Structure 1
Amino acid sequence: MRTILVVGGGYAGFYTAWKLEKKLRRGEARVIVVDPRPYMTYQPFLPEVVAGSVEARHAAVSLRRHLRRTEIIAGRVTAVDHARKTVTVRPAVGREYPLAYDIIVVTAGAVTRTLAIPGVSDHAIGMKHVEEAVAIRDRLLTAFDQAATLPPGPERRRLLTVTFVGGGFSGVEGFGELLSLATALIRRYPELSLDELSFHLVEARDRILPEVTDGPGQWVVRSLTKRGGRVHLNAQLLSVRDGHVVLSTGEEFDSELIVWTVGNAANPMVHNHSDLPVNGRGMLVVRADLRVGTEDAPVPDAWGAGDDAAVPDLAAERTGVSTVPNAQHAVRQGKLLARNIVATLRGREPKRYVHHSLGTVATLGLGRGIFQFHRLVIKGFPAWLMHRGYHVLAVPTWERKVRVLAVWATAALFGRDIVSLTSVQHPREAFLAGAHAPAPAEAGAPPAGVMTGDAARS
């Protein structure tokens, strides 16, 4: 029986394995998925996780729950030797070991793109995983609690200052949702005022949201500004040492929370530790039918899709363009990849990937959004409803759809939960504080270590 190895359990990897389970005959092939996380993250929900509109676990789809006939390995593929059809796996516990395969599917995904800016590695938080989204929300809630105990001044202003770096979809949606949460929180803190909030969105280019045209992008800037946010265009981040933000425009301010959403970079494993072909950007060279290689020279038994693959965009007006690395493409590529693998196993020709965009939709906070499809632009509340409707349909499995809808319905009746669980990141602090605290001395109590009464006699 052949072994199909799926490297990465993100969108493309999850959907590939999920569809392979449904299409493979019994005994036709076995499927293995290697990923360090036991779940697939539905990233379009992360901005709402940041705002508390979606429960964190509902933005994660368990691999073991839904891939019931797939072998799941909790680990990371650190090298691919396709010439020998072997990968090196670094498990969560234990030593690295080789793993053989017959067919490989590389869907390792991209990684967060970082720059050598002083202070970023020490103070910034990304927004690519559920854990990061939860940490961002908890940091904001904790900052409000701390600021409420301080008199007006520089320290209080720092706690109430938030900086997002990067004006793409992830940054703008996260910025809008967190701004919406912060303005709603002010009503719960009579000690604080709305004027003390300071939200900054820093973008190096002259516009935000490159996926939409200039008009809708400018409307988003005006909308965020009207709500109290500051959008810094043509501004580069120079330093964030000790939380002190320095911009190329000359502006400086202290910020308690710094969120890094600059974009994605090619997966280091793919372009540094693999013998599969990559392009100048370090992305996997993939044909239109998702086989690795070029039209003239395909690589046998190797497939790729998702954010780490340069998939030709046959629906684009220009030639030589690759598909945009987003969920809309990754999901559909994963489904087609599974069908194509099954087709080749049964002696049929694979089909080419062609997908025409369904449009662009983004949330900008509770009740606010933007949608564009060609020249059709919808703004405000209708676009926000479209965003929620589309993504609740797109998130995999009915179980997740029902859970998300239930949270939305509860929030509509009772409002968002504003409890901070920052202490979860340090779960032993309370235990250690109690263990190290001296016991209170009672009148007439014997010295510590001296047994009396029944305890001494026993």
Structure 2
Amino acid sequence: MNGEAGRTNVPHILIVGGGYVGMYTALGLQRKLRRKARITVIDPRSYMTYQPFLPEAAAGSLEPRHVVVPLRKVLKRCHVITGEVRSIDHASKTVNVDPEAGEPYDIGYDTIVVALGAISRTLPVPGLADVGIGFKQVEEAIALRNHVLDRLDVAASTTDPAVKQRALTFVFVGGGFAGVEALGELENMAQYARRYYPQIGSHDMRWVLVEASGHILPEVGPEMGVYTVEELSKRGIEIRLETKLESCVDGHVVLSKGKPFDSDTIIWTAGVKANPVLGHSDLPLDERGRVRCLPEMRVDGLDDAWAAGDNAAVPDLTADEPGVMTAPNAQHAVRQAKLLSKNITRSTKGRVAKPYKHRYVGSVASLGLYKGVAHTYGVKVRGFAAWFMHRTYHMSKMPTFNRKARVLVDWTMALLFRREVVTLGRMRMPREDFRRAAEPTRPRHRE
């Protein structure tokens, strides 16, 4: 299949990536351009995941299906392709796509929007690829919830102290938003679930946060970072600052400080990096592998290529020093996506695109149910107020009224009823029982 086939007289806008930036850019373009352009969106998943809500989905406060938005449902005037982009050749204006089934093929375009986002930034830690769990997609959040509850089942059912200790040891590597929020929510959930496991004592679970630097949550400032350490420590969580994970072969955790120990659960949230697909393109990249952009999010030196979000190096016009780029976070992605669709529309009409300019207003983080920290507009907030701010802000940024309503219903039901703490861990092997039943049985020989 070749993208040139079936080309019409209207320009073809190709958006690679269906995350927040890709989906909102496509949504804006289909509203503004209508029949004046063909819009295609390519992503390995058929839905957009709102990542700030993943910790609550993992803890069971939100239904996982409610933190994702089906692309085909909201992008009704766009052509959505479920597949992976393998390379971008802007010189010939084609991308190579590997669909879920069938052979790879090329798609042509007139204008491209690069919204591939970022992937987990890993290090060559022995054993990490085999036992580590990431935390960037809804599938990982579901699997992690099932895994933690499954470990409680294992610990409550064994008579081996070593097996029990290993099952109840949970390690999080990375002290940024993802790591701290996932740790806070899952520890909160597990402590609640413990009431149904009389075999597990209040001090049997061990939660460890490993951070290579000397502080956590730098986005909320030093004071709130210290408060977070104190708050988590009061809950019995071990905070290992200036410590690195050196090895985790077969779950045997070796840190740069302290004694080794065993764990069945190792969650890696130590940063992100630009999507490596960009390395298979002829687009200009910076030293961190991101697409070099002008302030209006046009790719540097190209009139018909745009980029935004975590995979784009967009100059921060509000910074005190030149050369600073906008941080790869949800706050910038939300605003860049909305301006990007407007700028592309302006460009197609021969008008001047506007530069992206947004002064960072601060950050909010959840530390579990009714607990949080925030540093916004110079004001520092903690406890219930910060937790409420966290929910309110992300509710306002959740795409579509449909998803906002579903999230609100989930929160309301959580206030009225107790948490669901059932594990569906066997979903990873849905055919196992049927396979056993379908196996031919050997006839017994009579003597």
Range into which the TM-score falls when normalised by the shorter chain: over 0.9
- Give CA-to-partner distance per residue, 1:203-251, whole Å, 9 cap, x none: 0000011212111101100100101110100001010011011100132
- Give CA-to-partner distance per residue, 1:364-414, whole Å, 9 cap, x none: 001100110243111011111111111111100010011111111111111
Alignment partner for residue 131 of structure 1, among 133, 136, 139? 139
Task: Tell me if 1:10 matches 2:23.
Answer: no
Paired residue secondary structure (1:185): helix
Give the distance between the partners of 1:197 and 1:177, measured in 2 at CA: 15
Task: Tell me if 1:280 matches 2:283.
Answer: no
After alignment, is 284-293 or 144-153 more displaced? Answer: 144-153
Residue 358 of structure 1 and its aligned partner are, at CA, apart by 3.0
Instruction: Please tell me whether the aligned partners of residues 365 and 372 of structure 2 are also in contact (alpha carbons under 8 angstroms).
Output: yes
Paired residue secondary structure (2:126): coil
The one-letter code of the counterpart of 2:172 is F
**Corresponding residue for residue 385 of structure 1:** 388
Paired residue secondary structure (1:14): helix
Paired residue secondary structure (2:45): coil
**Corresponding residue for residue 34 of structure 1:** 42
Alignment partner for residue 122 of structure 1, among 125, 130, 133? 130
Paired residue secondary structure (1:340): helix
Give the distance between the partners of 2:195 and 2:240, measured in 1 at CA: 27
**Corresponding residue for residue 357 of structure 1:** 360
Matches within 5 A, 1:347-426: 347-426=350-429
User: Structure 2-normalised TM-score?
Assistant: 0.95
Alignment partner for residue 24 of structure 1, among 33, 55, 60? 33
Greater radius of gyration (CA): 1
Paired residue secondary structure (2:185): helix
Matches within 5 A, 1:201-212: 201-212=209-220
Alignment partner for residue 86 of structure 1, among 85, 94, 111? 94
Task: Tell me if 1:66 matches 2:69.
Answer: no
Residue 436 of structure 1 and its aligned partner are, at CA, apart by 2.9
**Corresponding residue for residue 233 of structure 1:** 241
**Corresponding residue for residue 255 of structure 2:** 247
Paired residue secondary structure (2:303): strand
Paired residue secondary structure (1:148): helix
Residue 434 of structure 1 and its aligned partner are, at CA, apart by 2.1
Give the distance between the partners of 1:394 and 1:25, measured in 2 at CA: 24
Paired residue secondary structure (1:315): coil
**Corresponding residue for residue 296 of structure 2:** 289
Give the distance between the partners of 2:440 and 2:166, measured in 1 at CA: 33
Paired residue secondary structure (2:285): coil
Give the distance between the partners of 1:37 and 1:131, measured in 2 at CA: 11
Residue 439 of structure 1 and its aligned partner are, at CA, apart by 10
Paired residue secondary structure (2:219): coil
Residue 39 of structure 1 and its aligned partner are, at CA, apart by 0.5
The one-letter code of the counterpart of 2:413 is T
- Give CA-to-partner distance per residue, 1:91-113, whole Å, 9 cap, x none: 11111111100000001111111
- Give CA-to-partner distance per residue, 1:305-343, whole Å, 9 cap, x none: 010000111122222111111111112111111100110
Residue 152 of structure 1 and its aligned partner are, at CA, apart by 6.4
Paired residue secondary structure (1:334): helix
CA spacing shift, 1:242–1:25, aligned 2, 3 Å: closer
Alignment partner for residue 147 of structure 1, among 150, 155, 158? 155
Aligned-pair identity in percent equals: 50
Paired residue secondary structure (1:336): helix
Point out where structure 2 has 5 or more consecutive residues left out of the alignment. 1-9
The one-letter code of the counterpart of 1:7 is V
Paired residue secondary structure (1:357): coil
Give the distance between the partners of 2:163 and 2:440, measured in 1 at CA: 31
Instruction: Please tell me whether the aligned partners of residues 207 and 238 of structure 2 are also in contact (alpha carbons under 8 angstroms).
Output: yes
Alignment partner for residue 434 of structure 1, among 431, 434, 437? 437
**Corresponding residue for residue 339 of structure 1:** 342
Alignment partner for residue 264 of structure 1, among 272, 283, 297? 272
Residue 151 of structure 1 and its aligned partner are, at CA, apart by 3.1
**Corresponding residue for residue 174 of structure 2:** 166
Residue 37 of structure 1 and its aligned partner are, at CA, apart by 0.3
CA spacing shift, 1:25–1:57, aligned 2, 3 Å: closer
Number of aligned residue pairs: 436
Give the distance between the partners of 1:62 and 1:154, measured in 2 at CA: 44
Residue 44 of structure 1 and its aligned partner are, at CA, apart by 0.2
Instruction: Please tell me whether the aligned partners of residues 176 and 269 of structure 2 are also in contact (alpha carbons under 8 angstroms).
Output: yes
**Cα RMSD (Å) of the superposition?**
1.5
Give the distance between the partners of 1:112 and 1:86, measured in 2 at CA: 27
Give the distance between the partners of 2:259 and 2:23, measured in 1 at CA: 44
Residue 357 of structure 1 and its aligned partner are, at CA, apart by 2.1
**Corresponding residue for residue 190 of structure 1:** 198
CA spacing shift, 1:395–1:439, aligned 2, 3 Å: farther
- Give CA-to-partner distance per residue, 1:282-317, whole Å, 9 cap, x none: 110001000000xxxx31200000100001111222
Task: Tell me if 1:327 matches 2:330.
Answer: yes
